Amino acid sequence: MTRTGIEYLRAKDQDSAVALVAEDPDAAFLAGGTTELDLALKDRVVHPSRFVDIGRLPLRGVTRDGDRLRVAALTTMEELAADPTVRARLPLVREALLLGASTQLRNMATIGGNLLQRTRCRYFRDPDVAACNKREPGSGCAAIEGVARMHAILGAGPSCIALHASDLCVPLVALDAVVELLDADGPRRVPLTDFYLTPGDRPDVETVLRHGELLTHVEIPLLPAGTRSAYIKVRDRTSYEFGLTTAGAAVQVDDGTITMARVGLGGVGTVPWRSWEAERVLVGSPANERTFAAAAQAAIRDPFTVPGTEFKVELAKRTIVRILRTVTS
Amino acid sequence: MTTTLTKQSLLGRPIDRIDGRRKVAGAAPYPSDFDLPGQAHAALVSSTIANGRITRIDRSAAEAAPGVLLVLTRDNAPAVADPPMSNLGSTMRWYFRDDRILHYGQHIGIVVAGTRAQAQAAARLVEVEYAAEEPVLDLDDPRATIEENPYGLDSSRGDAAAALDAADVTVDSTYTIGAEINSPMGLFTTVASWQGGRLVVHDTTQFPSMVRASLAAMFGVPERDVRVLIPFLGGGFGAGLRLWSHTVLTTMAARELDRPVKLVLTRPQMFSSTGHRAASRQRMRLGATQDGRLVAIDHDAVAANGIGDMLPAPIEMGTPMAYACDNVATHERRAHLNIAFTGFMRAPGSVELHFALESALDELAGKLGIDPVELRLRNYAEVHPESGKPWSSKALRECLTVGADRFGWSGRDPSPRSTRDGDLLVGQGMAEASFDFYAQPCTVRLSVDRGGNALVRTGATDIGTGTYTITAQLTADLLGIEVDQVRVELGDTDLPPAPQSGGSGLAGALGAAVKDAAAALGERLARLDGRPGETIASLLDRHGLDELSATGHSDLPAAAATTDLAVAGPFAATFAEVGVDEELGVVRVRRLVSVIDGGRLYNEKTARSQIIGGTVMGIGAALLEEAAYDPHTGRVANGTFGDYLMAVNADVPDLDITFVGGPDAFNPVGTKGLGEIGIVAVAPAIANAVHHATGRRIRDLPITLDKLL
Ligand SMILES: Cc1cc2nc3c(=O)[nH]c(=O)nc-3n(C[C@H](O)[C@H](O)[C@H](O)COP(=O)(O)OP(=O)(O)OC[C@H]3O[C@@H](n4cnc5c(N)ncnc54)[C@H](O)[C@@H]3O)c2cc1C
Ligand code: SF4
């Protein structure tokens, strides 16, 4: 499919933004554009008829409401990382943001766009590759038998192994963040852990977001005082690379026993991965290497691997052990 | 301003690039900056299989698309002659010669339209049907055609097999390196326009005279009617040393349309259109006495090559001259695979050889319990090991000793896993390198005018490394004028013929030619009866002359054939310290010291920049860079700058770079090329450091973290 022109419209307000996308099945929101413009103009794997630019809507900034932080969708990654409450109370969110992309990108990229970024799978992003179930349902998956180092091992299956590569989402799923959505039927709230869909037999459907629905805010509960948290990103290159495996964790330890634990994993899941399994092992257990190893074991259960991703099973476990050691030491 | 050479030498001074301001201001035109009146824009159609035949191409939808002016495929393309062999020993296989598909991304058509967007959209509408076959992608694939001794460089002195058998200690290891892509920043571009029968091409090339000769032959016009322009080049690392098909296709389209056509490759296309360092495998066998004297080197190498291609990038060439060893045998093979055509990527062959040889030497040092620096000194080749002639210059010993000193090598505990820093294992490794260079004849025209200003003209290119600057600096030095009184014109085949900028040979050849021109000019000036201390300006004035010119020439290959010296290239020793997070496999370079013998330096700053660039690229080669081929289609699966990882700033520690040695006795200016030597010893030094840190010998580049888990 080729289109020689894309209509560009700038939304006046939230409602008209929603209406302008809803009325055209091929229209798309445009926020910072760092994902969408690549896909549409460089890689040419998405073919929007219309961009509805939401970049100037007044959906920017961070407000605190008691022990919850409300982040408007157009806040940039750099802005959220610089927020004083994030600095003080959510160090894992700040670290995840600052280990992502590059400063230039983080100054353009929005939080809403980060949550909705598309996979980096190079088979998805090259229109000359025919077999991609995410792009063309039923066409197959070239990555499964191809070069799949940057792919997922959890939530993956024979239809698709594409990674959700966001760093930010890893702490956000661990922290029980909630997204606020808006469309013509009004607003709704969805926990981030329910927002993403594993591929199943519909890898093209990635979230519960409806066409034309605008992500307006992300609500992040703050961590209780005395919680220790951190984020770690393991990669070949020191900066400016997506993670091979990442982990974010927040724990409270009382007298050597873990009393609260939140674990999110990146680099491994088709969706940002919340590891309730690891948390179950951790809570009530002594904060020691044995516990960490057991948690890691529980977290990486039944991985779906291909030759290129096999190493991630071990690496992810070690990453989990490292982050747990870091936040409990 | 005098005609004598008594001024304090300008040569070697770290002056800023004379073109720096223009570059920073965006005023230096790179090929993609050229737009000609009436120009149309092109996009390529590339194959989506790696092996087979084209059975049908349907152009009609593309031809009917908005703005489209022309769609050329082999069905409707005019015939062209085969291009001639270049003096680097390569030629281009013209894809349109037959219906075969040899690799993924092979150019099978060009679409020209009013705008680039229109051309790119229409290129997707060209329908191609193939009879596809399984591609042959692996060096070990039994279906691969293998050529034995493809360069005629297999060599043997003494009896390596017998010496290996008799050796006290041996090493027998196999080393592999994945394919690497040159990846210059500047996307390769061709802007072609025919004016009457005359062709003018702005082309991204490091070798304009080769492009001129090739296009003239292919399109059947005299060379004097082809002009290739490349005043500024956004990097090449060897990618610009061959003629590539996009240049021919753009030139052809411009002729068919009788209007200028511009093509800028996309970044993914750069991964299969402009060459790369071939994947290779080497078996290195060393034999030594207990006290660390090398008695045998047996080197066996195989590297990939495109099908029907014949690029000479031998790995074995430097083996016999590396060490004083009586018994050396080399064997090389070339495996023809369904991969994009390879190219000359920075220190081609030498990077591969030194990774294997210098890793093997480290293994040998470990077995013998001899310090790696000491082992190299014990086998130091005082004279050329093949010819027995004295080197024209060789300060490799100083590279080793000065490097060891600056690095603090003597404090190193030789046992692996002996040093920790927090979570990290710390290791230190080193390697040396001997490099050959490749020079060609060069001609320059030098003029001085009544204002006392000089103009130097030659058809060479500056690939971003400082050729403009060092040419001006040398000229100013020879004429006793200031650098800003010298204007340098490069990158135009209408200028006197110059060799490629590649093979670390240009600076030496060009400098020698400038020196020759300055001498000729000096003679002409002398014939004008200069008075003591008289300036060039007044001399010309007195004789009513506007300017005076002379031509200078150098032919280093001819000189090399008759000299009693073993003509040396640059030498290097690199010392690296790495930290390895053993639990996670992550390797980071913490410190790196390189000491270089580059002969006499033109400019200490541009020289250092060359070594920095080579070192950064070496870190990438050691830890990051590898083109990943899809095993079924042969498509480069990581063909973007987001996916193909090169070293970024955060991967590079402070680099300690030192130059040693004096003027080379063979080169008239005393210089040796510096464009490639900086990369050569980096990967083995890092691999050796990883072994020292972890006790694990990784013989497969790049050393990505999964290999250490
Ligand atoms: C080279 C590179 C490196 C990167 N590295 C990292 C990294 O290391 N870690 C990491 O986490 N990320 C990384 N990213 C991804 C980057 O963070 C995302 O591209 C960015 O956050 C997307 O935000 P945006 O505002 O530019 O979104 P856009 O590109 O404008 O939009 C992205 C998608 O979301 C939709 N959308 C955007 N906003 C809304 C909204 N409010 N409501 C509904 N739909 C919306 C768009 O329609 C589009 O489909 C990298 C990106 C690049 C290009
Ligand atoms: S992994 Fe998913 S996105 Fe990638 S090729 Fe397969 S189906 Fe497409």
Strands B424-434 and B419-421: antiparallel
Strands A245-254 and A257-266: antiparallel
- Ligand 2 pocket, residue A134 CB under 6 Å: yes
* pLDDT at residue B105 tops 70: yes
SS3 of A157-191: ECCECCCCCCCCHHHHHHCCCEEEEEECCEEEEEE
- The fold adopted by the segment(s) A229-328 is Enolase-like; domain 1 (3.30.390)
Q: B393 and B672 in contact (C-beta within 8 Å)?
A: yes
Residues with CB under 6 A from ligand 1: A 28-36, 54, 73, 100-101, 105, 108-110, 112-114, 116-117, 166-168, 214-215, 242; B 642
CA distance B709 to B700: 14
Residue B576, strand partner residues: B429, B592
* pLDDT at residue B146 tops 60: yes
- Quote the tokens at residue B240: 């610009």
Atom number of ligand 1 nearest to Cα A243: 8
pLDDT at position B536, please? 81
Pick from A86-90, B120-124, B201-205, B526-530: least confident: B526-530
Residue B176, strand partner residues: B281, B700
Q: Using an 8 Å CB-CB cutoff, list chain A residues near B66.
A: 4
Burial zone of B252 (CB within 10 Å; 0-12 exposed, 13-18 middle, 19+ buried) = buried
- Quote the tokens at residue B703: 């050393």
In total, the C-beta contacts within 8 angstroms joining chain A to chain B are 91
Nearest CA to B491 among B239, B213, B204?
A: B204
Start-to-end Cα distance in chain A = 55
Residues of A with CB under 8 A from a CB of B: 2-4, 44, 120, 122-123, 126-129, 142, 145-147, 149-150, 234-241, 244, 311, 314-315, 318-319, 321-322
Q: Does B129 touch chain A (CB under 8 A)?
A: no
Q: At B484, give phi and psi (nearest 5°).
A: -75, 0
Q: B275 and B343 in contact (C-beta within 8 Å)?
A: yes
Q: Which amino acid is at A277?
A: E
* pLDDT at residue B310 tops 90: no
Confidence tier at B539 by pLDDT (50, 70, 90): confident
To the nearest whole angstrom, how far is the Cα of B118 from the nearest Cα of chain A? 7
pLDDT at position B526, please? 86
Residue of A nearest to B707 (CA): A311
* Residue range B50-88, pLDDT digits in tens: 999 999 999 999 999 999 999 999 999 999 999 998 888
Residue A239, Cβ neighbours under 10 Å: how many? 15
CA distance B424 to B694: 10
Confidence tier at B5 by pLDDT (50, 70, 90): very low
Q: B473 and B488 in contact (C-beta within 8 Å)?
A: no
Q: How far is the CA of A95 from the centre of ligand 2 (A)?
A: 29
Torsion angle defined by CA atoms of residues A19, A23, A25 and A27, in that order, rounded to the nearest 10 degrees? -50
Confidence tier at B297 by pLDDT (50, 70, 90): very high
Nearest CA to B440 among B510, B364, B361, B522?
A: B510
Q: How far is the CA of B151 from the centre of ligand 2 (A)?
A: 43
Q: Using an 8 Å CB-CB cutoff, list chain B residues near A45.
A: none
* Ligand minimally distant from the alpha carbon of residue A103: 1
pLDDT at position B319, please? 98
Residue of A45, A118, A133 with the most ligand 2 atoms within 8 Å of its CB, for mutation: A133
The arithmetic mean of pLDDT across residues B525-554, rounded, is 88
Q: How far is the CA of B337 from the centre of ligand 2 (A)?
A: 27
- Quote the tokens at residue B284: 């290195």
Atom number of ligand 2 nearest to Cα A140: 7
The arithmetic mean of pLDDT across residues B307-314, rounded, is 91
Residue of A nearest to B646 (CA): A237
Ligand 2, atom 6, residue with closest C-alpha: A141
Q: How far is the CA of B496 from the centre of ligand 1 (A)?
A: 52
3-state secondary structure of B234: coil
* pLDDT at residue B134 tops 60: yes
Q: Can you give the C-alpha Rg of chain B in angstroms?
A: 26
Element (H, E) at A263: strand A257-266
pLDDT at position B532, please? 81
Q: How far is the CA of B649 from the centre of ligand 1 (A)?
A: 24
Residue of A105, A179, A242 with the most ligand 1 atoms within 8 Å of its CB, for mutation: A105
Q: How far is CA A70 from the centre of its chain?
A: 17
Instruction: Enumerate residue ranges in chain A where pLDDT < 70.
Output: 1-4
Residue of B nearest to A321 (CA): B583
Atom number of ligand 1 nearest to Cα A214: 42
Pick from B106, B111, B644, B706 the residue to mutate for testing the A interface (most A CBs within 10 Å): B706
Q: B619 and B647 in contact (C-beta within 8 Å)?
A: yes
Ramachandran class of B506: left when φ > 0, alpha when ψ lies in -120 to 50, beta otherwise = alpha
Q: Using an 8 Å CB-CB cutoff, list chain B residues near A234.
A: 584, 586, 705
CA distance A62 to A314: 38
CA distance B19 to B36: 24
Nearest CA to B429 among B378, B368, B379, B355?
A: B355
Ligand 2, atom 2, residue with closest C-alpha: A160
* Residue range A209-264, pLDDT digits in tens: 999 999 999 999 999 999 999 999 999 999 999 999 999 999 999 999 999 999 99
- B 424-443 near A (Cβ less than 8 A): none
The arithmetic mean of pLDDT across residues B330-357, rounded, is 97
Q: How far is the CA of A107 from the centre of ligand 1 (A)?
A: 11
Ramachandran class of B299: left when φ > 0, alpha when ψ lies in -120 to 50, beta otherwise = beta
Q: Using an 8 Å CB-CB cutoff, list chain B residues near A128.
A: 46, 48, 635
The arithmetic mean of pLDDT across residues B306-321, rounded, is 94
Alpha helices in B4-143 (DSSP H): 20-24, 60-64, 116-123
pLDDT at position A1, please? 46
Peptide bond into B260 cis (omega under 30): no
Question: Are B651 and A142 an interchain contact pair (Cβ–Cβ within 8 Å)?
Answer: no
Q: B587 and B659 in contact (C-beta within 8 Å)?
A: no
Considering chain B, what is the average pLDDT of its residues? Answer: 96
The percent of residues above 70 in pLDDT, for chain B, comes to: 99
pLDDT at position B88, please? 85
Ramachandran class of B507: left when φ > 0, alpha when ψ lies in -120 to 50, beta otherwise = alpha
- Ligand 2 pocket, residue A141 CB under 6 Å: yes
3-state secondary structure of B121: helix
Confidence tier at B3 by pLDDT (50, 70, 90): very low
Q: B467 and B501 in contact (C-beta within 8 Å)?
A: yes
Atom number of ligand 2 nearest to Cα A123: 5
Confidence tier at B1 by pLDDT (50, 70, 90): very low
To the nearest whole angstrom, how far is the Cα of B218 from the nearest Cα of chain A? 31
Question: Are B584 and A319 an interchain contact pair (Cβ–Cβ within 8 Å)?
Answer: yes
* Residue range B426-440, pLDDT digits in tens: 999 999 999 999 989
Q: How far is the CA of A118 from the centre of ligand 1 (A)?
A: 7
* pLDDT at residue B8 tops 80: no
Q: Using an 8 Å CB-CB cutoff, list chain B residues near A238.
A: 588, 648, 650-651
Q: Which amino acid is at B48?
A: T
Q: Using an 8 Å CB-CB cutoff, list chain B residues near A126.
A: 268, 635
pLDDT at position B92, please? 84
The arithmetic mean of pLDDT across residues B621-632, rounded, is 97
- What is each CA distance from B619 to B111, B346, B572, B575, in whole angstroms? 39, 13, 16, 12
Domains of chain B by range and CATH? 20-29+442-554 (3.30.365.10), 34-133+183-273 (3.90.1170.50), 276-437+565-708 (3.30.365.10)
How does B321-348 read in b/e, with b if 16+ C-beta sit within 10 Å?
A: bbbebebbbbbbbbbbbbbbbbbbbbbb
- Quote the tokens at residue A197: 């869909």
* pLDDT at residue B699 tops 50: yes
pTM over 0.90: yes
pLDDT at position B2, please? 39
- Quote the tokens at residue A113: 């766009």
Confidence tier at B6 by pLDDT (50, 70, 90): very low
| Closest residue to A314, CB basis, from B637, B645, B709 | B709
Tell me, yes or no, if B386 is annotated catalytic. no
pLDDT at position A3, please? 55
Nearest CA to B369 among B262, B291, B265?
A: B291
List, by residue range, all CATH 3.30.43.10 domains of chain A.
1-54
Residue B348 DSSP symbol: T
pLDDT at position B352, please? 98
With a CB cutoff of 8 Å and minimum separation 6, the contacts of A276 are none
List, by residue range, all CATH 3.30.390.50 domains of chain A.
229-328
Domain A1-54, CATH number (from 1.10.3720.10, 3.40.250.10, 3.30.43.10, 2.60.420.10): 3.30.43.10
